[in-house]
Chains A and B, each alone.
Chain A
């Protein structure tokens, strides 16, 4: 048995995170199309979907066999790959529409097939992923290879019989929700009624019915009459996990608005406004940029929501609007580097965040392929790295530390040595188990907690 190298340094009940798998190309020459742009587990955690800049969706499925063996959980293997979106050209505006997948959201499973929504900047698609493990054999008019038989040779009639075949996973687009967004879609969120969903772009939020593609309802519109007065955009939106009339949306000014669709058809007036007053001692030219919220996620319980801005993660109690109940600093050492980060545009990076299944730990990414976890109960945090150096399965990840100033201790990394090209923007946590998926630029890492 492996000797514990670090004493209880894990986030969340002394979890020790181990490398499990890495997906994607090994070489450092990253093809633009392979850049991962979204990661999402389905509701059971059995499936893990990724979307990339090339418009492709890759779905991994967890093996079930190894559950009996206690030393590891099932591995994730490729289940289905398909081209979700293609590059398009808007002839009216002479603009190319990027095929990059911005978000994937799974529908809860209702039958044998799986459904997910995937979106690029302009169009949302509902995909059905189904398995086929049988095929009909013994057609009357066709040969097995598909060629039509000579009709004169058909002398008897027979009923085709289903015979087993190698498993084939098919993805087919069932709905295409298009032409409803002038601006770039940043979020999609499925309602708890499982019949409707919202899509949000920079200035508007629309409500759709999953069955209806030719119309949607605009529920939020913050576009000013005069575009020159535009000072704020929508950055993320999500439906409440239990309350089907409630959703939130965040803005580039660091505010979150909670809206109730029962109040009016157009939810331009919020029911609640969550905003933390600015700390005057931290004021700078970049205050607004770093307050811009890049992600908002409700807790599974629905009682809290989490927001990610450039330097921190904040947990809000839905009953308290004037300040968050918890704030976690992700990389405070960057505060003195904001000018350089503004210069190289890193200050505009949009990091996502996620909850674990029990809402006790939250996770988010950082630079240098570091990602951070914060345990809400113990108040302990940990920094880990997604790197090919820790590639052996069941290798316990060593906690990392950034030295902000002063003398750098052994094993610490100084701020100036951080690689700002290696950013972890997308992370996901299995809904039930301690399995996490962390996306570097073009690789997907899967880590699990150590099972003794």
Chain B
């Protein structure tokens, strides 16, 4: 058997048949006369597979960045080909403005496709919600920091559809933003811009996060000192 351990999924056999059958079709040069009927099904299988891989990758406590980036980029290509009216951008060169490209793709993507993607991802998120272990993301920032809501400009990972935007946001932001580089960066390192880099639109920058942490600590200390003070006669300063 050629395949080694694959992903466990419900529609295993179906998917296998579809993907293997599709091998010869889309990898060879496309003759113009070929009927387009199988493509919709085949592409969506590959799309599903890629989404599954993306979720699987995100579920890791520390995802393999290379794997993640390659899967995301592949997903973009697949979606680009699935959108029927969208002009296929030249594949080799990376789009100069990923946000703009994703915008145009979303605008022309099939509504039914989006709906089915959304429902699939909803299913996945339900499963995830059950199985995801709570992670103490200590460097996430104070409780007040907003974690949901699609950021105004669309990044590469938002192209999965507006319905899924908030669904993935938490994890994606958590993934990409929980790496608090201030713990590792030393002031001797360039670039100097590292420390003053603007944070994501959905949340404050790193220094703000740190300041708020300190503010929180101060508040906690005050509370502690205050409770102690209640047990003693109030001094002159209080």
Contact = CB atoms under 8 A, between A and B. Distances in A.
Given A202-B65, A278-B92, A344-B6, A228 B155 contact: yes
A231 B69 contact: yes
A335 B27 contact: yes
A418 B178 CA distance: 41
Contact of B181 (A182, A202, A336): A182
B20 A340 contact: yes
Interface string B144-186: 0000000100011110000000000000100011111101111
Contacts of B78: 285
A233 B69 contact: yes
A203 B65 CA distance: 9
Interface stretch (B107-115, B119-127, B189-197, B212-220): B189-197
A228 B157 contact: yes
B67 A348 contact: yes
A94 interface: yes
Contacts of A226: 155, 198, 200
A180 B184 contact: yes
Given A94-B135, A228-B157, A342-B49, A252 B66 contact: yes
A182 B183 CA distance: 9
B61 interface: yes
A288 interface: yes
A287 B6 contact: no
A343 B155 contact: no
B68 to A, nearest CB: 9
B138 interface: yes
A96 B135 CA distance: 13
Interface in A218-267: 218, 221, 225-233, 235, 252-253, 265-266
A281 B29 contact: yes
A406 interface: no
Contacts of A407: none
Contacts of A235: 66
Given A218-B190, A252-B69, A286-B74, A339 B19 contact: yes
A410 B6 CA distance: 31
Contact of A344 (B5, B176, B177, B185): B5
Interface string A182-198: 11100000000000000
Given A182-B181, A344-B3, A348-B70, A339 B139 contact: no
A285 B77 contact: yes
A228 B66 contact: no
Contacts of B204: none
Contacts of B53: 345
B175 to A, nearest CB: 8
Interface string B1-18: 011111100000001100
A277 B184 contact: no
A395 B139 CA distance: 59
A181 B139 CA distance: 17
B231 interface: no
B235 interface: no
B24 A336 contact: yes
Contacts of B136: 94
A287 B91 contact: yes
Interface string A361-403: 0000000000000000000000000000000000000000000
A416 B53 CA distance: 24
Interface centre among B2, B155, B156, B200 (most CB of A within 10 A): B2
Interface residues of B, number: 67
Interface in B54-92: 61-62, 64-67, 69-70, 72-74, 77-78, 81, 91-92
A183 B156 contact: no
B94 interface: yes
B46 interface: yes
Given A179-B184, A180-B184, A266 B24 contact: no
B200 A228 contact: yes
A71 interface: no
Contacts of A318: none
Given A92-B183, A283-B91, A183 B189 contact: no
B92 A277 contact: yes
A343 B27 contact: no
Given A278-B91, A340-B19, A285 B138 contact: no
B66 A288 contact: no
Given A228-B176, A252-B70, A95 B190 contact: no
Contact of A339 (B20, B72, B178, B194): B20
Contacts of A230: 65, 69, 156, 176
A253 B94 contact: yes
B210 interface: no
A93 interface: yes
Interface string A397-422: 00000000000000000011110110
Given A182-B181, A233-B65, A342-B49, A336 B23 contact: yes
A442 B26 CA distance: 37
Interface string A414-433: 01111011000000000000
A95 B3 CA distance: 31
B138 to A, nearest CB: 6
Contacts of B19: 339-340, 343
10 contacts: A93-B178, A228-B158, A232-B94, A281-B29, A285-B26, A285-B74, A285-B81, A338-B27, A343-B19, A420-B3
Given A202-B66, A218-B190, A287-B92, 11 more contacts: A92-B180, A93-B179, A203-B65, A226-B155, A228-B200, A229-B156, A278-B91, A285-B78, A337-B23, A340-B19, A348-B70
Interface of A: 92-96, 179-184, 202-203, 206, 215-218, 221, 225-233, 235, 252-253, 265-266, 268, 277-278, 281, 283-289, 292, 335-340, 342-346, 348, 415-418, 420-421
Sorted from nearest, which 9 A-B pairs have the closest CB atoms? A228-B155, A227-B176, A218-B189, A202-B65, A278-B92, A266-B190, A421-B4, A344-B3, A344-B6
